[in-house]
């Protein structure tokens, strides 16, 4: 549940041979991913939960992303 809520995945390895196979598949996936970031334009006062939705217009692409994040305005220094 933690992995699903944060955009991650859970891998189960049945012994050392399974662990080696899982690490190989994770390494292959990391070589084929992109990182996307943005700065919110709505900088309201107070922390609030915001939803994220990532869509792509490309065939045979899988999007793995978190569903939301908690926005907190920056703390102003004195």
φ, ψ at 13 (rounded to 5°): -115, 130
- 34-63 pLDDT, tens per residue? 888 877 777 776 668 888 888 889 898 888
| pTM, full prediction | 0.48
Q: Show the CA angle centred on residue 65, arms to residues 43 and 28, nearest 5°.
A: 140
Maximum separation of any 2 CA atoms in the chain, in Å: 56
């Amino acid at each position: 549940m933690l992995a699903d809520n944060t955009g991650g995945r859970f891998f189960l390895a049945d012994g050392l041979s399974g662990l080696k196979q899982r690490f190989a598949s994770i390494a292959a996936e990391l070589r084929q991913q992109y990182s996307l970031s943005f700065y919110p334009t709505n900088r309201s006062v107070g922390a609030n939960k915001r939803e994220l939705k990532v869509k792509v217009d490309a065939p045979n692409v899988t999007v793995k992303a978190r569903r939301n994040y908690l926005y907190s305005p920056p703390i102003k220094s004195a």
